[in-house]
Amino acid sequence: MTREEQRQIKKAREREERRKRQEAWEAARGPMDIPFLLLALMLLVIGLIMLLSASFPSAQAHKSSNYDPLYYFKRQAMFAGAGLVAMFWVSKINYERFRGLARLALIVSIALLVLVLIPGLGITRNGATRWLGIPGQAVGQFQPSEIAKLGVIVYFAESISKKREKMRSFREGFLPHFILLCVVAGLTLIEPHFSGALLIAGMGAAMMVVGGIHWGWIAAGVGGLCGGGYLMLFTDLMEKIGYNASRIAVWKDPFGGDLEFQRNQAWQVIQSLITVGSGGLLGVGLGKSRQKFMFLPEEHNDFIFAVVFEELGLVGAGLIMLIFALLVLRGFWLAIHARDRFGSLMVVGVTVQIALQTFLNIAVVTNFLPATGISLPFFSYGGTALSLQLVEIGIVLSVSRQIPAPKAG
Protein backbone atom coordinates (compact mmCIF):
# COMPACT_ATOMS: atom_id res chain seq x y z
CA MET A 1 0.00 0.00 0.00
CA THR A 2 1.43 3.39 -1.05
CA ARG A 3 1.77 6.38 1.27
CA GLU A 4 -0.88 8.23 -0.69
CA GLU A 5 -3.33 5.40 -0.15
CA GLN A 6 -2.48 5.37 3.56
CA ARG A 7 -3.14 9.11 3.76
CA GLN A 8 -6.48 8.71 2.02
CA ILE A 9 -7.49 5.95 4.42
CA LYS A 10 -6.43 8.09 7.39
CA LYS A 11 -8.47 11.05 6.10
CA ALA A 12 -11.48 8.82 5.55
CA ARG A 13 -11.24 7.53 9.11
CA GLU A 14 -10.96 11.08 10.47
CA ARG A 15 -14.02 12.13 8.47
CA GLU A 16 -15.93 9.15 9.83
CA GLU A 17 -14.88 9.96 13.39
CA ARG A 18 -15.99 13.59 12.96
CA ARG A 19 -19.33 12.42 11.57
CA LYS A 20 -19.87 10.10 14.52
CA ARG A 21 -18.93 12.80 17.01
CA GLN A 22 -21.37 15.20 15.37
CA GLU A 23 -24.15 12.61 15.47
CA ALA A 24 -23.38 11.92 19.13
CA TRP A 25 -23.47 15.66 19.82
CA GLU A 26 -26.85 16.07 18.14
CA ALA A 27 -28.27 13.06 19.97
CA ALA A 28 -27.03 14.08 23.41
CA ARG A 29 -27.31 17.86 23.10
CA GLY A 30 -29.23 19.41 25.96
CA PRO A 31 -29.70 22.83 27.53
CA MET A 32 -26.71 24.89 28.58
CA ASP A 33 -25.82 25.08 32.26
CA ILE A 34 -28.03 27.86 33.63
CA PRO A 35 -26.21 28.39 36.97
CA PHE A 36 -22.88 28.99 35.22
CA LEU A 37 -24.53 31.28 32.66
CA LEU A 38 -26.34 33.35 35.31
CA LEU A 39 -23.20 33.75 37.43
CA ALA A 40 -21.23 34.97 34.41
CA LEU A 41 -23.98 37.41 33.41
CA MET A 42 -24.20 38.73 36.98
CA LEU A 43 -20.47 39.48 36.96
CA LEU A 44 -20.75 41.12 33.54
CA VAL A 45 -23.60 43.42 34.58
CA ILE A 46 -22.00 44.36 37.91
CA GLY A 47 -18.71 44.92 36.12
CA LEU A 48 -20.28 47.33 33.62
CA ILE A 49 -21.99 49.26 36.42
CA MET A 50 -18.74 49.56 38.38
CA LEU A 51 -16.82 50.55 35.24
CA LEU A 52 -19.29 53.37 34.61
CA SER A 53 -18.91 54.55 38.19
CA ALA A 54 -15.11 54.29 38.24
CA SER A 55 -14.34 55.71 34.80
CA PHE A 56 -16.46 58.82 34.30
CA PRO A 57 -14.15 61.29 36.14
CA SER A 58 -11.12 60.17 34.14
CA ALA A 59 -13.05 60.08 30.85
CA GLN A 60 -14.43 63.57 31.43
CA ALA A 61 -10.96 64.98 32.16
CA HIS A 62 -8.98 63.71 29.15
CA LYS A 63 -8.90 64.84 25.55
CA SER A 64 -8.26 61.27 24.32
CA SER A 65 -11.81 60.38 25.40
CA ASN A 66 -13.28 63.57 23.87
CA TYR A 67 -14.15 64.72 27.40
CA ASP A 68 -17.09 62.32 27.26
CA PRO A 69 -17.86 60.91 30.75
CA LEU A 70 -19.48 57.84 29.16
CA TYR A 71 -16.59 57.13 26.76
CA TYR A 72 -15.15 54.06 28.50
CA PHE A 73 -18.56 52.70 29.43
CA LYS A 74 -19.96 52.96 25.89
CA ARG A 75 -16.93 51.21 24.39
CA GLN A 76 -17.00 48.47 27.01
CA ALA A 77 -20.75 47.99 26.50
CA MET A 78 -20.17 47.67 22.77
CA PHE A 79 -17.59 44.92 23.26
CA ALA A 80 -19.83 43.28 25.87
CA GLY A 81 -22.68 43.13 23.34
CA ALA A 82 -20.42 41.64 20.67
CA GLY A 83 -19.00 39.21 23.22
CA LEU A 84 -22.47 38.06 24.28
CA VAL A 85 -23.43 37.35 20.67
CA ALA A 86 -20.20 35.37 20.24
CA MET A 87 -20.78 33.57 23.55
CA PHE A 88 -24.25 32.30 22.61
CA TRP A 89 -23.06 31.39 19.11
CA VAL A 90 -20.10 29.39 20.47
CA SER A 91 -22.34 27.72 23.06
CA LYS A 92 -24.41 26.19 20.24
CA ILE A 93 -21.38 24.77 18.41
CA ASN A 94 -20.21 21.23 18.95
CA TYR A 95 -17.05 21.87 20.97
CA GLU A 96 -15.40 18.88 19.27
CA ARG A 97 -14.96 21.11 16.23
CA PHE A 98 -12.36 23.11 18.15
CA ARG A 99 -10.04 20.13 17.89
CA GLY A 100 -9.34 20.98 14.27
CA LEU A 101 -8.50 24.58 15.18
CA ALA A 102 -6.17 23.75 18.08
CA ARG A 103 -2.86 23.74 16.21
CA LEU A 104 -3.79 26.81 14.14
CA ALA A 105 -4.79 28.68 17.31
CA LEU A 106 -1.40 28.01 18.91
CA ILE A 107 0.54 28.97 15.76
CA VAL A 108 -1.40 32.22 15.38
CA SER A 109 -0.89 33.00 19.09
CA ILE A 110 2.89 32.55 18.85
CA ALA A 111 3.06 34.51 15.59
CA LEU A 112 1.18 37.47 17.10
CA LEU A 113 3.40 37.45 20.19
CA VAL A 114 6.46 37.57 17.92
CA LEU A 115 4.99 40.43 15.89
CA VAL A 116 4.60 42.49 19.06
CA LEU A 117 8.37 42.32 19.61
CA ILE A 118 9.23 43.59 16.10
CA PRO A 119 10.18 47.30 16.24
CA GLY A 120 7.60 49.41 14.48
CA LEU A 121 4.78 46.88 14.83
CA GLY A 122 4.31 46.59 18.57
CA ILE A 123 2.61 49.50 20.32
CA THR A 124 4.18 50.68 23.59
CA ARG A 125 2.31 52.11 26.56
CA ASN A 126 3.77 52.88 29.98
CA GLY A 127 7.05 51.21 29.07
CA ALA A 128 5.48 47.90 27.94
CA THR A 129 5.01 46.75 24.34
CA ARG A 130 1.89 44.58 24.51
CA TRP A 131 -0.39 45.79 21.72
CA LEU A 132 -0.82 45.41 17.98
CA GLY A 133 -2.98 47.58 15.76
CA ILE A 134 -3.15 51.13 14.48
CA PRO A 135 -1.00 53.54 16.51
CA GLY A 136 -3.05 56.30 18.07
CA GLN A 137 -6.32 54.51 17.36
CA ALA A 138 -7.54 52.64 20.45
CA VAL A 139 -10.39 51.04 18.51
CA GLY A 140 -8.06 49.00 16.32
CA GLN A 141 -5.67 47.80 19.03
CA PHE A 142 -5.58 44.47 20.85
CA GLN A 143 -3.31 42.43 23.11
CA PRO A 144 -2.01 39.20 21.53
CA SER A 145 -1.44 37.79 25.03
CA GLU A 146 -5.24 37.62 25.45
CA ILE A 147 -5.51 35.54 22.29
CA ALA A 148 -2.57 33.40 23.45
CA LYS A 149 -4.47 32.41 26.60
CA LEU A 150 -7.30 30.95 24.53
CA GLY A 151 -4.85 29.37 22.09
CA VAL A 152 -3.02 27.57 24.92
CA ILE A 153 -6.29 26.32 26.42
CA VAL A 154 -7.59 24.82 23.17
CA TYR A 155 -4.28 23.33 22.03
CA PHE A 156 -3.37 21.82 25.40
CA ALA A 157 -6.87 20.35 25.75
CA GLU A 158 -6.64 18.71 22.31
CA SER A 159 -3.06 17.49 22.70
CA ILE A 160 -3.38 16.19 26.26
CA SER A 161 -6.68 14.42 25.52
CA LYS A 162 -5.02 12.52 22.66
CA LYS A 163 -1.95 11.57 24.73
CA ARG A 164 -3.86 10.20 27.68
CA GLU A 165 -1.60 7.18 28.10
CA LYS A 166 1.59 9.11 27.33
CA MET A 167 1.26 12.05 29.72
CA ARG A 168 3.19 10.26 32.46
CA SER A 169 6.10 9.91 30.04
CA PHE A 170 8.71 12.65 30.29
CA ARG A 171 9.69 12.64 26.63
CA GLU A 172 6.28 12.25 25.00
CA GLY A 173 3.99 13.83 27.56
CA PHE A 174 5.64 16.34 29.87
CA LEU A 175 8.51 17.75 27.78
CA PRO A 176 6.63 18.86 24.60
CA HIS A 177 3.97 20.69 26.58
CA PHE A 178 6.54 22.20 28.95
CA ILE A 179 8.57 23.58 26.01
CA LEU A 180 5.49 25.08 24.36
CA LEU A 181 4.46 26.65 27.63
CA CYS A 182 7.91 28.16 28.09
CA VAL A 183 7.84 29.59 24.55
CA VAL A 184 4.43 31.26 24.89
CA ALA A 185 4.98 32.46 28.47
CA GLY A 186 8.52 33.58 27.61
CA LEU A 187 7.38 35.69 24.65
CA THR A 188 4.76 37.29 26.90
CA LEU A 189 7.35 37.95 29.61
CA ILE A 190 9.68 39.74 27.18
CA GLU A 191 7.06 42.43 26.40
CA PRO A 192 7.26 42.73 29.48
CA HIS A 193 3.96 41.34 30.73
CA PHE A 194 4.76 39.41 33.89
CA SER A 195 1.16 38.85 34.95
CA GLY A 196 0.19 37.57 31.49
CA ALA A 197 3.12 35.15 31.50
CA LEU A 198 2.18 33.98 34.98
CA LEU A 199 -1.43 33.36 33.90
CA ILE A 200 -0.42 31.40 30.82
CA ALA A 201 2.07 29.31 32.80
CA GLY A 202 -0.49 28.66 35.54
CA MET A 203 -3.23 27.60 33.12
CA GLY A 204 -0.96 25.29 31.18
CA ALA A 205 0.50 23.76 34.33
CA ALA A 206 -2.98 23.10 35.76
CA MET A 207 -4.08 21.40 32.55
CA MET A 208 -0.95 19.25 32.55
CA VAL A 209 -1.63 18.22 36.16
CA VAL A 210 -5.23 17.30 35.32
CA GLY A 211 -3.94 15.56 32.20
CA GLY A 212 -2.01 13.10 34.36
CA ILE A 213 1.67 14.02 34.36
CA HIS A 214 3.86 12.15 36.83
CA TRP A 215 3.56 13.34 40.43
CA GLY A 216 7.31 13.87 40.55
CA TRP A 217 7.08 16.68 38.00
CA ILE A 218 4.22 18.21 39.98
CA ALA A 219 6.36 18.19 43.12
CA ALA A 220 9.29 19.67 41.19
CA GLY A 221 7.06 22.42 39.79
CA VAL A 222 5.65 23.33 43.19
CA GLY A 223 9.14 23.36 44.68
CA GLY A 224 10.48 25.50 41.84
CA LEU A 225 7.57 27.93 42.18
CA CYS A 226 8.12 28.29 45.92
CA GLY A 227 11.86 28.70 45.47
CA GLY A 228 11.47 31.25 42.67
CA GLY A 229 8.92 33.20 44.67
CA TYR A 230 11.23 33.35 47.66
CA LEU A 231 14.17 34.52 45.54
CA MET A 232 12.09 37.25 43.89
CA LEU A 233 10.31 38.54 46.97
CA PHE A 234 12.72 38.09 49.84
CA THR A 235 16.20 38.45 48.30
CA ASP A 236 17.94 41.14 46.22
CA LEU A 237 17.79 39.00 43.05
CA MET A 238 15.31 41.32 41.27
CA GLU A 239 17.45 44.32 42.12
CA LYS A 240 20.53 42.67 40.65
CA ILE A 241 18.84 41.81 37.35
CA GLY A 242 16.95 45.11 37.28
CA TYR A 243 13.48 43.66 36.61
CA ASN A 244 10.64 45.29 38.56
CA ALA A 245 12.88 45.65 41.62
CA SER A 246 11.06 48.85 42.63
CA ARG A 247 7.75 46.97 42.76
CA ILE A 248 9.20 44.55 45.28
CA ALA A 249 10.40 47.45 47.43
CA VAL A 250 6.96 49.06 47.25
CA TRP A 251 5.26 45.80 48.17
CA LYS A 252 7.45 45.34 51.24
CA ASP A 253 6.80 48.85 52.62
CA PRO A 254 4.86 51.32 50.42
CA PHE A 255 4.89 53.95 53.18
CA GLY A 256 8.61 53.62 53.80
CA GLY A 257 11.40 55.62 52.22
CA ASP A 258 11.41 59.34 51.50
CA LEU A 259 8.62 61.52 50.10
CA GLU A 260 9.91 61.14 46.55
CA PHE A 261 9.67 57.34 46.83
CA GLN A 262 6.08 57.58 48.05
CA ARG A 263 5.06 60.06 45.34
CA ASN A 264 6.66 58.18 42.47
CA GLN A 265 7.19 54.43 42.92
CA ALA A 266 4.65 53.80 45.70
CA TRP A 267 1.91 56.28 44.77
CA GLN A 268 -0.40 53.77 43.07
CA VAL A 269 -0.22 51.20 45.85
CA ILE A 270 -0.64 53.83 48.59
CA GLN A 271 -3.70 55.29 46.87
CA SER A 272 -5.13 51.80 46.37
CA LEU A 273 -4.80 51.02 50.08
CA ILE A 274 -6.38 54.38 50.97
CA THR A 275 -9.24 53.62 48.55
CA VAL A 276 -9.81 50.16 50.01
CA GLY A 277 -9.68 51.44 53.58
CA SER A 278 -12.06 54.32 52.85
CA GLY A 279 -14.94 51.96 52.15
CA GLY A 280 -15.14 50.45 55.60
CA LEU A 281 -17.77 47.79 56.14
CA LEU A 282 -20.66 49.12 54.01
CA GLY A 283 -18.91 51.57 51.68
CA VAL A 284 -19.53 55.23 50.87
CA GLY A 285 -22.26 54.41 48.34
CA LEU A 286 -22.41 53.47 44.67
CA GLY A 287 -20.97 56.27 42.54
CA LYS A 288 -19.69 58.23 45.53
CA SER A 289 -16.02 57.24 45.50
CA ARG A 290 -13.67 60.14 46.15
CA GLN A 291 -10.42 58.41 45.19
CA LYS A 292 -11.49 57.92 41.56
CA PHE A 293 -11.25 61.70 41.05
CA MET A 294 -7.67 61.61 39.77
CA PHE A 295 -6.13 60.25 42.98
CA LEU A 296 -6.07 56.53 42.17
CA PRO A 297 -4.25 55.67 38.90
CA GLU A 298 -5.80 53.01 36.63
CA GLU A 299 -9.07 53.30 38.53
CA HIS A 300 -11.07 51.89 35.61
CA ASN A 301 -8.58 49.19 34.73
CA ASP A 302 -6.22 47.19 36.95
CA PHE A 303 -7.33 48.90 40.18
CA ILE A 304 -11.08 49.00 39.61
CA PHE A 305 -11.69 46.61 42.52
CA ALA A 306 -10.29 49.25 44.90
CA VAL A 307 -13.19 51.47 43.81
CA VAL A 308 -15.53 48.52 44.46
CA PHE A 309 -14.17 48.33 48.01
CA GLU A 310 -14.64 52.07 48.55
CA GLU A 311 -18.17 52.33 47.15
CA LEU A 312 -19.64 48.99 48.26
CA GLY A 313 -17.51 48.32 51.32
CA LEU A 314 -16.20 45.00 52.55
CA VAL A 315 -19.72 43.51 52.40
CA GLY A 316 -20.28 44.42 48.74
CA ALA A 317 -16.76 43.43 47.68
CA GLY A 318 -17.15 40.17 49.60
CA LEU A 319 -20.39 39.37 47.78
CA ILE A 320 -18.70 39.94 44.41
CA MET A 321 -15.82 37.68 45.45
CA LEU A 322 -18.41 35.09 46.45
CA ILE A 323 -19.95 35.22 42.95
CA PHE A 324 -16.49 34.70 41.45
CA ALA A 325 -15.94 31.74 43.80
CA LEU A 326 -19.29 30.19 42.85
CA LEU A 327 -18.47 30.61 39.15
CA VAL A 328 -15.13 28.86 39.64
CA LEU A 329 -16.66 26.04 41.69
CA ARG A 330 -19.41 25.54 39.10
CA GLY A 331 -16.77 25.47 36.39
CA PHE A 332 -14.86 22.70 38.12
CA TRP A 333 -18.13 20.81 38.65
CA LEU A 334 -18.79 20.99 34.90
CA ALA A 335 -15.23 19.82 34.19
CA ILE A 336 -15.72 16.76 36.42
CA HIS A 337 -19.00 15.86 34.72
CA ALA A 338 -17.96 16.64 31.13
CA ARG A 339 -18.66 13.96 28.55
CA ASP A 340 -15.06 13.52 27.43
CA ARG A 341 -11.50 14.45 28.31
CA PHE A 342 -11.19 17.18 25.68
CA GLY A 343 -14.20 19.10 26.97
CA SER A 344 -13.15 18.61 30.58
CA LEU A 345 -9.67 20.01 29.94
CA MET A 346 -11.02 23.07 28.13
CA VAL A 347 -13.32 23.84 31.05
CA VAL A 348 -10.41 23.39 33.47
CA GLY A 349 -8.30 25.82 31.44
CA VAL A 350 -11.00 28.51 31.35
CA THR A 351 -11.88 28.08 35.02
CA VAL A 352 -8.27 28.20 36.21
CA GLN A 353 -7.69 31.33 34.15
CA ILE A 354 -10.65 33.13 35.75
CA ALA A 355 -9.72 31.94 39.23
CA LEU A 356 -6.03 32.81 38.98
CA GLN A 357 -6.61 36.18 37.31
CA THR A 358 -9.21 37.19 39.89
CA PHE A 359 -6.99 36.16 42.80
CA LEU A 360 -3.94 37.98 41.43
CA ASN A 361 -5.87 41.19 40.74
CA ILE A 362 -7.43 41.38 44.20
CA ALA A 363 -4.10 40.43 45.78
CA VAL A 364 -2.39 43.30 43.96
CA VAL A 365 -5.14 45.81 44.85
CA THR A 366 -4.77 44.96 48.55
CA ASN A 367 -0.94 44.80 48.31
CA PHE A 368 -0.94 41.13 49.25
CA LEU A 369 1.28 40.67 46.17
CA PRO A 370 3.49 43.12 44.23
CA ALA A 371 1.82 45.08 41.43
CA THR A 372 1.93 43.09 38.19
CA GLY A 373 -0.44 44.99 35.89
CA ILE A 374 -3.24 42.43 35.81
CA SER A 375 -6.88 43.13 34.99
CA LEU A 376 -10.01 41.84 36.74
CA PRO A 377 -12.23 39.59 34.57
CA PHE A 378 -15.57 41.19 33.55
CA PHE A 379 -14.70 44.43 35.40
CA SER A 380 -11.53 46.03 34.05
CA TYR A 381 -11.69 48.16 30.92
CA GLY A 382 -10.48 46.33 27.82
CA GLY A 383 -12.49 45.25 24.79
CA THR A 384 -10.30 42.38 23.58
CA ALA A 385 -10.08 40.81 27.03
CA LEU A 386 -13.82 41.07 27.72
CA SER A 387 -14.85 39.67 24.33
CA LEU A 388 -12.50 36.70 24.65
CA GLN A 389 -13.63 36.05 28.22
CA LEU A 390 -17.21 35.78 26.98
CA VAL A 391 -16.11 33.47 24.15
CA GLU A 392 -14.45 31.25 26.77
CA ILE A 393 -17.70 31.26 28.76
CA GLY A 394 -19.40 30.12 25.55
CA ILE A 395 -16.96 27.20 25.27
CA VAL A 396 -17.80 26.11 28.81
CA LEU A 397 -21.53 26.34 28.03
CA SER A 398 -21.01 24.26 24.88
CA VAL A 399 -19.34 21.55 26.96
CA SER A 400 -22.14 21.76 29.53
CA ARG A 401 -24.76 20.95 26.86
CA GLN A 402 -23.31 17.45 26.61
CA ILE A 403 -23.50 16.65 30.31
CA PRO A 404 -26.20 14.01 30.88
CA ALA A 405 -29.14 15.13 32.97
CA PRO A 406 -29.43 13.39 36.35
CA LYS A 407 -31.82 10.45 36.31
CA ALA A 408 -34.97 10.75 38.36
CA GLY A 409 -35.19 8.49 41.37
- The DSSP secondary structure of 55-96, one letter per residue, reads HHHHHHH-GGGTT-TTHHHHHHHHHHHHHHHHHHHHHTS-GG
The predicted pLDDT at position 242 comes to: 53
d(CA 325, CA 348): 14
**Residues 322/330, Cβ–Cβ less than 8 Å:** no
Contact 330, 35 (CB under 8 A): yes
What DSSP string describes 4-21?
HHHHHHHHHHHHHHHHHH
Q: Among residues 11, 2, 15, 19, which one has the least CA distance to residue 94?
A: 19
C-alpha span between 69 and 366 (Å, rounded): 27
How much is the pLDDT for 109? 93
With CA atoms as reference, report the closest residue to 372 among 193, 124, 177. Answer: 193
Q: Is 185 exposed, middle or buried (0-12, 13-18, 19+ CB in 10 A)?
A: buried
Q: What is the pLDDT along the chain (409 residues), one digit of tens a residue?
A: 677 777 777 777 777 776 666 666 555 567 899 999 999 999 999 999 999 999 999 999 887 788 899 999 999 999 999 999 999 999 999 898 899 899 999 999 999 999 988 887 888 776 677 878 766 555 567 888 999 999 999 999 999 998 877 888 888 888 899 999 999 999 998 887 888 888 999 999 999 999 988 777 777 777 877 777 666 666 665 555 555 667 788 888 888 777 888 888 889 999 999 999 999 999 999 999 999 998 999 999 999 999 999 999 999 999 999 999 999 999 999 999 998 999 999 999 999 999 999 999 999 999 998 887 789 999 999 888 999 999 999 999 999 998 876 554 4
3-state secondary structure of 241: helix
**Residue 142: strand pairing partners:** 132
Query: How many helices and strands in the chain, by DSSP H and E?
Result: 15, 2
